[in-house]
Amino acid sequence: MAFLLGAGSCSEDKLDEIDTNPNSPEDVSINLLLSQVTINVPFAVANTDLAWYSSVFVQHTTGVHGQMQSADRRAGNEDATLVNNVWNNIYAGPLPDLNLIIEKGSDGGSESGRYHDVGIAKVLKAYTIAIATDAWGRVPYTEAGQGNTNRTPAYDTQQQIYTEIQTLLDEAIAEFAKQAPNPGVSDLIFRGDMERWRKTAYSLKARYHNRLSRIDPQGSATQALAAAEQGFQGNVDNFTFTRFTATAIGENPWFQERNDRSHHAVSETFVNLLTSKNDPRLQAMVAPAPNTGAITPAPNGTQTNDQANQNFSDVNISVLNATAPLPLMTYDELKFIEAESHLRLGNTGEAFTAYQEGIRAAMQRQINAPEPAIASYLSNASLPQSGGALTQEDIIEQKWIAFFYFQSIEAYNDWRRTGFPVLTHPIQQAPLRFPYPLSELDANAANVPNVQIYTDPVWWAGGPE
């Protein structure tokens, strides 16, 4: 009887395993978490819905089918379900994972001493929360990303969040200076190259200082330039995700969108601007439309449905393919930030030099342009030929071209901040922010700010907190 009892009873270890899912472990190592976030941030935070809508709003592309065409016609842009998925991706995915890496890898954590992993997590956390606040304005931050402990987090002001972003990046730089195990292949962006992460942190600091140009024109310029000095030194340093694969679940998200939905065509605004400047990137980046045999852009607000891109042009396969690199921040953007900052400080010569270097780097990155083609373009009479002739509009126009096709969120941020490039639309200008998601309106309505997306700019674009 004693034998039967012993054989049929459960040990304490077995009892502990009841009601647990062996395929969903409660404790995940930093190595696994880091691999996950270095994929999820480029894919689910920096791209997909926010980027696709931003592309239409800033007229890199025209919506020619489905949701993007509705957005271009200004139908449904206030729909609270518009970007539910991205909000949920941020607050239920990368943000909790990034917080967990920071907790586990810091002193006193279960994997203490993993300072380089912690630094990467702080860079990606700063980048992620910047995407969120730039899209919506006030968002949860101090009470967010802590798992399911608080389902009604308070909304922090954008000013407070921007202070926290700079703090995170400063802390990351300090983490990179410490002796620590190298993340190696768990880091799917730079493969443990901590110098490139350090340069990325400084470059992002320059971006987010420059974002406050309307809040503090002189101070933001000075701070951006100081950070930029230690940022990217060339295209080799670019903060770019390059690990896509030609498989159904491993492709570039823009390529997936084209294959699965095909809601975009290249916009008339983009083609007309490059045509007016005789820009060699036009022929290299934009494909002829099959039905016309020529580059045929789509006017924004079009009533013509062209899901298969037969009547209107799409981007060339050299730009958009399954494994196309996905830039998150680049050397050319940093040079344009320097140009704009110098211009605000009255340093016209330095501004012009940085402006031309930004164009050169963008052309090399986007189409691998040879130096003679770049020199010819820079000497074009449609471009300023001296620092005295350079304007903010010149800088932002070239930055807007450089952001094509994958960095539409940043182009949308610049348009809202500066008003450039000057965009016209037959129906209505683009929204000044994204609508808060239905999930928050349902569960956290008391904390969700009451704003109008077409009339209320975010704080750094001149709106109230």
Entry pTM: 0.93
Q: Taking 70 as the threshold, does the pLDDT of residue 31 lie above it?
A: yes
Segment 43-95, tens digit of pLDDT: 989 999 999 999 999 999 999 999 999 999 999 899 998 999 999 999 999 99
Mean pLDDT (the chain) is 93
What DSSP letter does each residue of 45-112 carry, written as one string?
ISSTHHHHHHHHHTTSEEE-SHHHHHHHTTSSTT-TTTTHHHHHHHHHTHHHHHHHHHHHHSTTSTTT
**What percentage of the chain has pLDDT greater than the value 70?**
93
Residue 26's pLDDT band, with cuts at 50, 70 and 90, is low
The Cα 318–Cα 194 span in angstroms is: 30
pLDDT at position 147, please?
60
Examine residue 405 and say whether the peptide bond preceding it is cis (omega within 30 degrees of 0). Answer: yes
Instruction: Name the amino acid, one letter, at 202.
Output: Y
Segment 128-186, tens digit of pLDDT: 999 999 999 999 999 986 666 678 999 999 999 999 999 999 999 999 999 999 999 99
